Chains A and B, each alone.
Chain A
Amino acid sequence: MTAAEATADQERLDYTRAAIEYAFDQGWTDGLPVVPVTRPMVEEFLMRTSRPADEVIAAVPHLNRECTVEQAAVNAALAGCRPEYFPVVLAAWESLGRERAVGGGGWQSTSGPAPLIIVNGLIRQELRINCTGGVLGPGFRANATIARAIGLVVRNVFGIRPHELEQATQGVPGRWTLCIGENEEESPWEPLATELGLPAGTDAVTATLLRTCEFVDNRNTRNPEELLADFADTISRTGAAIVPFSSAGLVLGVEHAQTLALGGFAKHDVQQWLYEHCVRSHEDLARAGKGLDGRTGPGIDEYGLHMLPSPEQVMIVVAGARNAAMSMVVRPFGFAGWSRSPAPVEGR
């Protein structure tokens, strides 16, 4: 490189830096740098879908806001997505749209919930969506930017920003980073999207809002019921109970999933076992100031409260590496449960 070329290169990089700073100054970012978006970039994204640019894909009616395909594309580009990720972003919005809280006040909630975006199908490999080691952590562009594309729409298109219309008390770690692939290759069970009704092998996204993830480390037992009892202890903690139920799902590590399957448990057996055993006594609830004050109804009996509203509300997905026996209890947001609605990714 000649000295003149080096200078020109330096100037282009300086200009890029200034563009990124400009985006910060406009309030367009979630706190991390964004990619400057141009019209031709947006067109590259729009070419990846057959849907019209002006089609509304998400809305928050009480705030008088809508998001079109084009606005979703702009914010996906801004987030750092590659154009080929865009159909997954659109499918994530479709699945999220069936969650009641998403079109309601969920994004403004004091609990500050995070979208959990679960990808099934061969598209995981094509887009290099991580589904094995470190699946909930950083390091993979598709996982990181698809989730971020959702968050930037909430901020930029819906206008829901922290300290303004967004009223999260503490928020959730990784709020805009929770896009994961299911480790279908090492799961002993059918993929989540198949369980929920799509044809086997469909590229699909299943999404909901989460309040948090809590680890369960159990390398101690190969007895499925002992393992389930360990999950039940975390699921049943009173802190997660809200008028009166709590919600829970499992992002199972491969070893735990295989332990359960080898022990003869199908997914629905795991759901049923957890529903039956995640119980707290009236004394326990009262000790935490969460006594039911004579309330009656499904899930409440003389002894106490079934903490989960129903077996099928327990989401079960397998993700992570097959190198240690640990899993995450995840906590879907909201009182009404999650919609269990996968959305197919538009074909290529």
Chain B
Amino acid sequence: MFRAMIDPTAGPTNRTRATVLANRKPDLRGSRVGLLANVKRNAEQFLDEVGVLLQQRGAVGVVRRKKLSITDPVPPDILSDLVSTCDVVVVGVGDCGSCSASAVADGLALEAAGIPAVVVCSDAFSVTADAMAALQGSPGYHYVVTPHPVAPLGPEELHQRAVAALPEIVATLTTGHPRVAE
């Protein structure tokens, strides 16, 4: 029945394959950490807190980069810059309708370029982050969730958020990654 009815839907223009995650080391000792922030309020501050904590865990420096579009993928120059100067990258904070999806796309782009990455999204946007992962050919892509909202938090609250997220961030950037570890 209804075989003469035209299907009004369309799929992606180009079929995308699952992204193979980058190889990971057992820990972050000696690693340079990239922090890829978007323009949402507190994104840079949160990532800075994470950067400080990661250096306490053995990382040797951070590279801060900021993405001005909340929707577009990371620009090629910033991507190549991060790939050439960093060993791992933290992406965030996915705290709006399109920037959460965009953050996931950026995490996958970094993995495809061989850089272990971790994406941080707020829990209000996990549905759209999951939808983007599926759209990118990587359903079930693992990202770290922090409670919504992030924007109105003060410095101490942001610090606590970073502390709370840190174990999972470290695991995701190392062989403790849920999809990498045996």
Q: Which residues of A contact B (CB under 8 A)?
A: 18-19, 22-23, 26, 28, 36-39, 41-42, 59, 61-67, 71, 74-75, 77-78, 104-105, 108-110, 152, 156-157, 159, 163-168
Contact = CB atoms under 8 A, between A and B. Distances in A.
A64 B135 contact: yes
Contacts of B98: 62, 104-105, 108-109, 167
Interface residues of B, number: 33
A156 B11 CA distance: 9
A159 B132 CA distance: 11
B181 interface: no
A74 B5 contact: no
A37 B14 CA distance: 26
Nearest to B96: A110
A69 B115 CA distance: 40
B7 interface: yes
B101 A108 contact: yes
A108 B128 contact: yes
Contacts of A163: 127
A152 B5 contact: no
A23 B105 CA distance: 31
A157 B14 CA distance: 14
A39 to B, nearest CB: 7
A152 B10 CA distance: 12
Nearest to B132: A165
B70 to A, nearest CB: 6
B131 A39 contact: no
Interface of B: 1-2, 4-14, 16, 69-73, 96-102, 105, 125, 127-128, 131-132, 135
A61 B101 CA distance: 13
B101 to A, nearest CB: 6
A38 B71 CA distance: 35
A176 B117 CA distance: 39
10 contacts: A39-B4, A63-B135, A64-B135, A104-B71, A104-B72, A105-B97, A105-B99, A105-B101, A108-B101, A156-B8
Nearest to B12: A64
Given A22-B2, A152-B8, A157-B10, A108 B97 contact: yes
A105 B70 contact: yes
A167 B2 CA distance: 32
A109 B99 CA distance: 9
Contacts of B7: 26, 28
The 10 closest A-B pairs by CB, nearest first: A105-B98, A167-B97, A105-B71, A104-B71, A64-B12, A108-B98, A156-B8, A108-B97, A37-B6, A156-B9
Contacts of B102: 62, 105
